[in-house]
Structure 1
Amino acid sequence: MRYLLLALLITSTSLAADPWRVVGDEQFAPYSFVTAEDDTPRGLDVELVDAVLREAKVNYDIRLYPWERVKRMLDRGEVQMAFQFAGTPLRQQQYELVGPLRSGSTVFMTTAKTALSDWKSLDDLSPYVIGQVRGYAYEGNFDRADLARDTTAQNPRQLVSMLLAGRIDIIVGDRVQLQYFVREQRAQEQVRILPRPLIQMPRFVAFAKGDSERARQFSEALVRLRKNATLGKIEQRWTH
């Protein structure tokens, strides 16, 4: 029993002393991004994660990278935590997901060149080429559907540019984010969002499978900040 307690103490001390390496997507504005001036992480999700980690009283370092690299770093054990993952069954199998950190509406955006006014089933999308970001998970049925897809976009900003250039018919993504990049290009009058969303998608932070102690620490701090409205105030600053 004494050895077990000692082992638990050593593990707890190690977790507290070693800074958590935390990574997120560098091209996920307004949720996480870096500017041309410096590589300081910014965005709604960055602020949410920062608040929770401070509440958990752990040492940490947040950095942003391309999404494919984020996943590789977590898979290889090079980092302790990553964000912002969709809560799909596949992601739940791969990682210890904690959250949701927040939730967002996943929608389809198109232009006047596409006659589609709305959709009832995924078959309604079959005549069109749908652009999506390589490596992103959206929604289980959509991800498995036999649809014409263009996955050459490396990030959502590029996806919006491809739509505006007429290279693809429809794009899929987070409503707030797609609108952010459309405003960035002053193209609000050129696009429209189909009324029916694909899904209301919760976004999670991820730890390596089996890393239950760090997951517990983050989860408990997240619950506390959600209850006292701290996270809600941060979200309001970015979305209103």
Structure 2
Amino acid sequence: MRIAALCLLLMPWVVQAEEWKVVGDEQFAPYSFVTIEDDLPRGLDVELVEAVMQEAKLPYSLRLYPWERVKRMLDRGDVAMAFQFAGTPERMQQYELVGPIRTGSTVFMTSRKTNLTDWAELDDLSPYIIGQVRGYAYQSDFDKADLRRDSSAQNPRQLVSMLLAGRIDVIVGDRVQLMYFVREQRAEQSVRILAKPLVEMPRYVAFTKGDRTRADPFAAALERLRQAGTLDAIYQRWH
């Protein structure tokens, strides 16, 4: 009994002393992406997570992978933490979410060839084929809505290419990110962002459900940096 009690007392120290394996989406520019030149993780969210880990004085390694693999690694317990998860009720039931580390505006984007200029209800989108990235969560009502969807895109860059090629009518995603890929293809004049956003979506880091031993020190360090203005300074460098 004494040995078991001692193990429980030491567990938080062991978890914090071991190197955390941290993973994120490799196709989520400008928030997280891998550079061709040196194969290193870059992006706003990468810098935010690294700043928190350093503030918490936690040893870590950070790698980026395809999003479906990121989720599988976290679900299997192969990694300590993953980012950047949408703050939907479903995700909150699945994982121990900490944050948000930032908030992004989820919007609908169309080609200027499409006659859709805005929407009021999700039913207004029913005549159109809506492209979305496979495995992404956007917003609960939208995710459950009976709409015509194309979920063949593996990442947001591919989603933008499909819209520009006329394969789909509308795409959904983070405003900053979609425009990043549109500018990459010099196609700003070819697209339209609908005025009404789908949602202002907070983005979180995720731990396995119930893993407060890791979640709590990360949350405390995140709050210290938020209070100090450090997170805002990082955010402004990317905007």
Q: What residue identity is the alignment partner of 2:193?
A: I
Instruction: Kindly tell me the number of residue pairs found equivalent between the two proteins.
Output: 239
Asked if residue 189 in structure 1 is aligned to residue 182 in structure 2, the reply is: no
Moved more, 178-187 or 109-118: 109-118
Q: What residue identity is the alignment partner of 1:55?
A: E
Partner SS, residue 63 of structure 1: strand
Aligned match of 1:200: 200
Q: State the alpha-carbon separation in 2 of the partners of residues 38 and 85 from structure 1.
A: 26
Aligned match of 2:46: 46
Question: Unaligned regions of 5+ residues in structure 2, if any?
Answer: none
| 8 Å contact from structure 2 (residues 16, 214) kept in 1 | no
Shift of 1:35: 1.5
Q: State the alpha-carbon separation in 2 of the partners of residues 50 and 85 from structure 1.
A: 16
Q: State the alpha-carbon separation in 2 of the partners of residues 48 and 84 from structure 1.
A: 11
Write out the 4+ residue segments of structure 1 that deviate beyond 4 Å after TM superposition.
1-5
Aligned match of 2:212: 212
Asked if residue 104 in structure 1 is aligned to residue 107 in structure 2, the reply is: no
Q: What residue identity is the alignment partner of 1:70?
A: V
Q: What residue identity is the alignment partner of 1:122?
A: L
Shift of 1:8: 4.0
Partner SS, residue 110 of structure 1: strand
Partner SS, residue 196 of structure 2: coil
Moved more, 106-115 or 169-178: 106-115
Q: State the alpha-carbon separation in 2 of the partners of residues 64 and 127 from structure 1.
A: 36
Shift of 1:213: 1.1
Shift of 1:201: 0.2
Q: State the alpha-carbon separation in 1 of the partners of residues 112 and 188 from structure 2.
A: 12
Aligned match of 1:81: 81
Q: What residue identity is the alignment partner of 1:180?
A: Y
Q: State the alpha-carbon separation in 1 of the partners of residues 228 and 112 from structure 2.
A: 44
Shift of 1:4: 6.9
Q: State the alpha-carbon separation in 1 of the partners of residues 35 and 152 from structure 2.
A: 23
Partner SS, residue 238 of structure 2: helix
Aligned match of 1:37: 37
Q: What residue identity is the alignment partner of 1:34?
A: V
Aligned match of 1:55: 55
Aligned-residue identity in percent: 72
Partner SS, residue 163 of structure 1: helix
Partner SS, residue 79 of structure 1: coil
Give deviations 1:13-56, integer Å, cap 9, x for gaps: 21122100000000000000001123210000000000001111
Partner SS, residue 102 of structure 1: strand
Shift of 1:212: 0.7
Q: State the alpha-carbon separation in 2 of the partners of residues 208 and 60 from structure 1.
A: 17
Partner SS, residue 45 of structure 2: helix
Q: What residue identity is the alignment partner of 1:167?
A: R
Partner SS, residue 97 of structure 2: strand
Q: State the alpha-carbon separation in 1 of the partners of residues 78 and 5 from structure 2.
A: 28
Q: State the alpha-carbon separation in 1 of the partners of residues 44 and 177 from structure 2.
A: 11
Shift of 1:120: 0.3
Equivalent runs, 1:143-154 vs 2, <5 Å: 143-154=143-154
Partner SS, residue 219 of structure 1: helix
Q: State the alpha-carbon separation in 2 of the partners of residues 199 and 238 from structure 1.
A: 21
Partner SS, residue 138 of structure 2: coil
Partner SS, residue 23 of structure 1: strand
Question: Unaligned regions of 5+ residues in structure 1, if any?
Answer: none
Equivalent runs, 1:3-14 vs 2, <5 Å: 6-14=6-14
Give deviations 1:107-144, integer Å, cap 9, x for gaps: 00001221111000000000000000000000000000
Aligned match of 2:24: 24
Cα RMSD after superposing both structures: 1.2
